[in-house]
Structure 1
Amino acid sequence: MKRRNFVQLAGMGAGAVMMPSLLMGNNIPTEALLEPGMDILMKKQMADVALNTAKSLGASYADARIGRYLNQFVRTREDKVQGVVNTESFGIGVRVIANGTWGFASTNDVSPDGIKKATEQAVAIAKANSKFQTEPVVLAPEASYGEVSWKTPIKKDFKEVPVSEKVDLLLTANAAAQSSGANFVNSALFMVNEQKYFASTEGSYIDQDVHRIWPTFGVTAVGGGKFKTRQAMSAPMGMGYEYLDGLASEKLEGPEGLKLYRGSYDMVEDATTAAKQAREMLTAKSVDAGKYDLVLEPNHLGLTIHESVGHPTELDRVLGYEANYAGTSFATIDKWKSKNFKYGSDLVNIVADKTQVGSLGAVGWDDEGVKTKKWDIIRNGVLVNYQAIRDQVKMIDQNESHGCCYAQSWNDVQFQRMPNISLEPGKEPYSINDMIKDVEKGIYIAGRGSYSIDQQRYNFQFGGTMYYEIKDGKIAGMLNDVAYQSNTQEFWNSCAKICDKDDYRLFGSFFDGKGQPSQVSAVSHGSSTSRFNDINVINTGRTV
């Protein structure tokens, strides 16, 4: 990526700095997005070249992933279109076990000779590595599924929606924000289609068509020598373009007119509200540091779940294999083996789920051909499991993969990635308004902000987008300069109340980074608004 393009994209927010993932592949004209993918019979023939070659060279196991990755990125600022980018990437990755050791190679030469050459390289790498391998790779058993398929249940394919319609939506949202008090606004649409085919020597031939979408914006108001920015309250979703049909959205009213969305998203309405709230932030009072009960809405809490539960329960991070990228984990094996490590209060039930409809992580099978499922990570506050794949589960005395293996492209080797990690809603009827009424001294926090967490995912600090003071059960006005500090165990054990399923919503990350060489993946985190008692809040001291 050229420096000028990076600087432009970085203005879209923290997630956008991971744009190499989205722009991966060759630039193509918009109409090329509509070209049909390869015939499934041809994919099977290509995969069989790799599998048969691997077996003939002595591999005990092999899988092949054929991927066509289509991406579109539309970006605007105020009344101008900043760019429309379409990319396509196509190729095959081959992974083998030979002499008890992994080997991987990939190629965009999908001729029989090209595939054969890549497979030979993968086997040669495995055999070379086996000289240094002390224990052979052991895979958990997995069924042979034959020829099967899965598709994100979309109603409207983004590729079939004219670019002009997408541009009109963004510019309309920009204009709505400006007419409501914004001085500056930028907006973007990220859209992804992964067409993936998996085959293995165990007899599975799996064709999947995965869709994701993320509308976002940043609205800035200027006044009194200061500026304040309010980001979109949207969440990236595993949906089609119907996500932007705002009329179908379930709109939940937050405090002080804050619009919350579930089902679909009204970008123009959110941009209008954002401009008014950004202007209100200019005169909001600065928070007094101290202990508060925090009422955290799902778009905010999702990031805290991601960093303090999602990452520390990745088994490779727990075992120290992931130490170079953002550290290891405090949630060590001895804590899990004790069967009584209180990760959180009795109310805290956190599940991993690769099947959740509408989520970013939803697929039918993972990238090593394991049928996806849902499982417990924390039950009644106790750490009960991790996230693990076929060659890891034996390390925790299990014999079934959790189905959370993923690679960002055909050109990358698949490895353990975070599934959707979500906090279950409360079982009794309980709304946001009920929760606020029960708080004497607190702060309601909405949206994502800056954060910091240590190398063991234990001590942390989180900010948000908007903050409202709660006094004696009522909203007492907007606040500035809020961040809260805690450690993971202390924080989750302070969880005192969770709203019911009617408030449950998804937060998501398009660009969760991990590994070396680094890869990104998309993951969602669901929750209902939750209360955490007696949390330390600091004043960040920002005045602009």
Structure 2
Amino acid sequence: MKRRNFIYLTGVGAAAAMLPAIPVWGNEIPFEKSLEYVDPASKKIIADVALNAARSKGATYTDVRIGRYLNQYVVTREDKVENLVNTESYGVGIRVIANGSWGFAATDKMDKDSIAKAAELAVAIARENSRLLAEPVKLAPQTGYGEVSWKAPIEKNAFEIPIKEKVDLLLSVNDAAMKGGADYINSILFMVNEQKYFASSDNSYIDQDIHRIWPTFFITKINKETGKFETRNALSAPTGMGYEYLDAKPEHKIHTAAGTVYKGRYDMLEDARQGATQVADKLKAKSVEPGKYDLVLDPSHLWLTIHESCGHPTELDRVLGYEANFAGTSFLTLDKWESKKFNYGSKVVNITADKTEKGSLGAVGYDDEGVKCGKWDIIKEGILVNYQAIRDQAHIIGLDHSQGCCYADNWSSVQFQRMANISLQPGKQPLTVDDQIKNVEKGIYIVGDGSFSIDQQRYNFQFGGQLFYEIKAGKIVGMLKDVAYQSNTQEFWNSCVAVCDQRDYRLGGSFFDGKGQPSQSSAVSHGSATARFKGVNVINTARKIG
């Protein structure tokens, strides 16, 4: 099996600290090879070899995932191209149940003998695992779909766009930021195409073509007299779209008191110009006075709070203590769900899980167990009503079906329970961002995500952001800095008093949500409209304690 090569984006100067580590695995290939597509009929032949080999060795259940994972990224800094990378990872992962236990093996050797040997190895591993088994795996029933396919509804395949066009866009973004007064800027285009084929002994043969894209930048401006600097990251959201994501029209722009934000599409050039102005304003901003404030939280910020305080704690494996890596376990123990009255938030808090939302990072037709994806309630009018579960967990919470949220980040990784798109539903009454601000006597309007911390039960937390605006008597009066708010999950969501309507609903998200050991990374979106929270504790991050 090929070793994964992790390529980390790095930079120099003050902007380097703001660059994320973007893992890209596989072998470098020519750009034009990314446009090839493997015929589903040939994948079915491979899958049947594995299914038959596993069954012949005694497997009572088998699924086969044939994956071709394409990654492309373009990285620039100021007037230079820093890196151009195009990779492919192609292979097959085989998961079985034998003697009541799971076994898994994978290979990138795509001849029939190698695939049959991998299937036999998976069965042998399952038999060894069964020696330590307390009780056999219990799968929720799943009727096979036969031969079906699902394709992301993109308009422009990002891999078909010439590299020169992508480079020209990023360099023009950099130029706009530098002309606007930025001292440093890194800009990045990151594109993913997952060509996934799933087959199982339940008689499913599912071919899927998934596309994702993330245009982003990191601006830094330095005060030459003091040496202090401020940063402003892009307000883009990574998204499950094609290159059309960069075709923003006037109807995709929402003009707020903090500037322009984007719904559904993104204008990278305009955001860079705006960012250069705002990062200069941050250098002159007033440091916040600690205390209780009403918070008006933009979706470009709130997605991360939803992710950490709603997404992770409702993952059933964390609730059960089966998983604790990266994000710990969960305070949302089964007794809280069983009570049917656990007060998670206020009446306006409605949180759903959805693996089908168009444009979201997690949108697929079927999960990596061959379960057709859908949408379900997690929090309804403030009450915990459900979790996120997969086939071997469903019976624990009385479900007769999986919720379709099983995922592996590569053919060589075993699939397990991963977060669906977890979103705060918009309010039902007409309400704009301006309306929210008018209703605040003393508050802060926060745009963009920033640093955060949260405890290992997903309960006590602290969140920062990108841009902070002081609200007095219903009006924005200036920019603030050094802002972070502290709360606990239950207290915070119970302080939610209003959510803007559907017109303001937008997606944020992460390409790199880590989980598991060995660790895997998944892509997930979180939607919301701008929401208002009463009386939240705000601290000054620049002041020393004691």
Q: State the TM-score, normalized to the length of structure 1.
A: 0.97
* 2-structure distance, mates of 1:5, 1:400: 39
1:16 pairs with 8, 12, 20, which one?
20
Residue 20 of structure 2 aligns to a residue whose secondary structure is: helix
* 2-structure distance, mates of 1:350, 1:91: 36
Displacement of 1:454 after TM fit? 0.2
Structural RMSD (CA): 1.6
Residue 246 of structure 1 aligns to a residue whose secondary structure is: coil
CA contact (8 A) 2:211 2:241 kept: yes
CA contact (8 A) 2:77 2:186 kept: yes
Provide closer, same or farther for how the CA distance between residues 166 and 249 of structure 1 changes in structure 2, counting only shifts above 3 A. farther
After superposition, what is the alpha-carbon deviation per residue over 1:465-492, rounded to whole angstroms, capped at 9, x for unaligned? Answer: 0000000000010001000000000000
CA contact (8 A) 1:15 1:509 kept: no
CA contact (8 A) 1:325 1:516 kept: no
Displacement of 1:160 after TM fit? 0.7
CA contact (8 A) 1:174 1:185 kept: yes
Corresponding residue for 1:139? 139
2:248 paired with 1:246: yes
- Corresponding residue pairs, total: 538
* 2-structure distance, mates of 1:316, 1:14: 32
Question: What does residue range 308-323 of structure 1 map to in structure 2 within 5 Å?
Answer: 308-323=309-324
Provide closer, same or farther for how the CA distance between residues 436 and 357 of structure 1 changes in structure 2, counting only shifts above 3 A. same
Displacement of 1:102 after TM fit? 0.2
Provide closer, same or farther for how the CA distance between residues 281 and 126 of structure 1 changes in structure 2, counting only shifts above 3 A. same
Q: State the TM-score, normalized to the length of structure 2.
A: 0.96
Displacement of 1:248 after TM fit? 6.4
2:244 paired with 1:236: no
Corresponding residue for 1:506? 507
* 2-structure distance, mates of 1:153, 1:454: 38
Unaligned runs of 5+ in 1: none
Provide closer, same or farther for how the CA distance between residues 511 and 253 of structure 1 changes in structure 2, counting only shifts above 3 A. same
* 1-structure distance, mates of 2:212, 2:16: 18
Corresponding residue for 2:383? 382
Residue 356 of structure 1 aligns to a residue whose secondary structure is: coil
* 1-structure distance, mates of 2:418, 2:506: 22
Corresponding residue for 1:279? 280
2:261 paired with 1:267: no
Corresponding residue for 1:191? 191
2:33 paired with 1:32: yes
Question: What does residue range 24-103 of structure 1 map to in structure 2 within 5 Å?
Answer: 24-34=25-35, 36-103=36-103
Unaligned runs of 5+ in 2: none
Displacement of 1:7 after TM fit? 3.7
* 2-structure distance, mates of 1:530, 1:5: 35
CA contact (8 A) 1:352 1:421 kept: yes
Amino acid at match of 2:407: Y
After superposition, what is the alpha-carbon deviation per residue over 1:227-253, rounded to whole angstroms, capped at 9, x for unaligned? Answer: 110000000000000001123651001
* 1-structure distance, mates of 2:9, 2:348: 43
CA contact (8 A) 2:15 2:184 kept: no
Amino acid at match of 1:350: I
Corresponding residue for 1:496? 497
2:437 paired with 1:433: no
Corresponding residue for 1:130? 130
Residue 341 of structure 1 aligns to a residue whose secondary structure is: coil
CA contact (8 A) 1:249 1:266 kept: no
* 1-structure distance, mates of 2:255, 2:155: 26
Corresponding residue for 2:177? 177
Corresponding residue for 2:346? 345
Displacement of 1:2 after TM fit? 8.7
Amino acid at match of 1:236: P
* 1-structure distance, mates of 2:362, 2:354: 8
Provide closer, same or farther for how the CA distance between residues 237 and 4 of structure 1 changes in structure 2, counting only shifts above 3 A. closer
Displacement of 1:285 after TM fit? 0.4
Using the aligned pairs only, state the percent identity: 64
Amino acid at match of 1:422: S
Displacement of 1:370 after TM fit? 0.1
Residue 284 of structure 2 aligns to a residue whose secondary structure is: coil
Displacement of 1:324 after TM fit? 3.5
Corresponding residue for 1:255? 257
